[in-house]
């Protein structure tokens, strides 16, 4: 499966193609026969590579972001 994901991501021509590919992978995970916890783990890994949560947190908190500790920012 990892080989498939790497191969498919290399073929994504545009940002929208890449986004569609990630969403298709998420749908595949949700539809799989894995346990609930396995699905959550797989989705966490998938979206962890797709979303820049540090940038999102920084943007959401604006000037307050700098007042947080590194541990708080990671959380």
* pLDDT of 62 over the 70 cut: yes
* pLDDT of 38 over the 90 cut: yes
Average pLDDT of span 34-62: 90
71 C-beta neighbours (distance < 10 Å), count: 7
The domains of the chain are located at 2-74
* pLDDT of 2 over the 70 cut: no
Task: Tell me the pTM.
Answer: 0.61
What does the pLDDT read at residue 74? 82
C-beta of residue 25 within 8 angstroms of C-beta of residue 44:
no
Average pLDDT of span 45-49: 89
C-beta of residue 12 within 8 angstroms of C-beta of residue 18:
yes
- SS3 at position 51: coil
Task: State the Cα–Cα distance between residues 74 and 30, nearest whole angstrom.
Answer: 26
């Amino acid at each position: 499966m990892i080989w498939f994901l790497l191969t498919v991501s290399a073929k994504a021509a545009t940002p929208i193609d890449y986004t569609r590919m990630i969403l298709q992978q998420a749908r595949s995970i949700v539809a799989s026969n894995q346990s609930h916890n396995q699905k959550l783990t797989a989705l966490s890994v998938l979206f962890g590579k797709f979303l820049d949560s540090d940038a999102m947190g920084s943007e959401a908190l604006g000037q307050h972001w700098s007042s947080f500790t590194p541990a708080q920012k990671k959380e």
